[in-house]
Amino acid sequence: MDQSFHVIVNSFVHSPSEWKRTLEADASGNMAQINEEERSIAKRLGVDEKEVAEKVKAGQYGELRLRAKGLGLGEYTGAILDGLGSNYRLVAVLWENSKSRWMLRIDAAGKIANVPIPAELADDIVDARSEQDVERLKNLVLFGVGRQELILKR
């Protein structure tokens, strides 16, 4: 599937492993440089430039991880939508850090449907690829785009 959707990550988060990776990069001399605006803010706040650079680098690692997760979630969602026909298209996958969820923006026959996906479900789908979790995603997508009649009753 060609990526015709956007992955949007508007947060600055990182995991402990990304922080460790940042410190290892710093120890090997590969620390990211901060720009003039970041340097000015650090000076105004009385924060060490090295500390700001570490946080920026860890945030970059975190953003890369989230973008990869959003891309994987989008690919699964796109495959589900392909089964509905050309009137359904994934527009964007947006990370909402404050709610710890992904929001799928879907063009559903000319109307935009916003479908929330819990972060845990996205993690399970992308990392474990279990059939049960993919089925949960499918049901959320079908419900979100108004195609409840396609959800299998058990």
pLDDT of 29 over the 90 cut: no
Q: Provide the residue ranges of all domains of the chain, joining segments of one domain with +.
A: 6-150
CA atoms within 13 A on the CB side of 18: 17
Question: Could you report the per-residue pLDDT of 38-79, keeping only the tens digit for each?
Answer: 888 888 889 888 888 888 888 888 888 999 999 999 999 999
Are 94 and 86 in contact by the 8 Å Cβ rule? The answer is no
d(CA 90, CA 110): 12
Cα separations in angstroms, 16 against 11, 61, 101, 137, 146: 16, 11, 19, 28, 39
Average pLDDT (115-131) is 93
pLDDT of amino acid 1: 46
Question: For the whole model, what pTM was predicted?
Answer: 0.81
pLDDT of 24 over the 80 cut: no
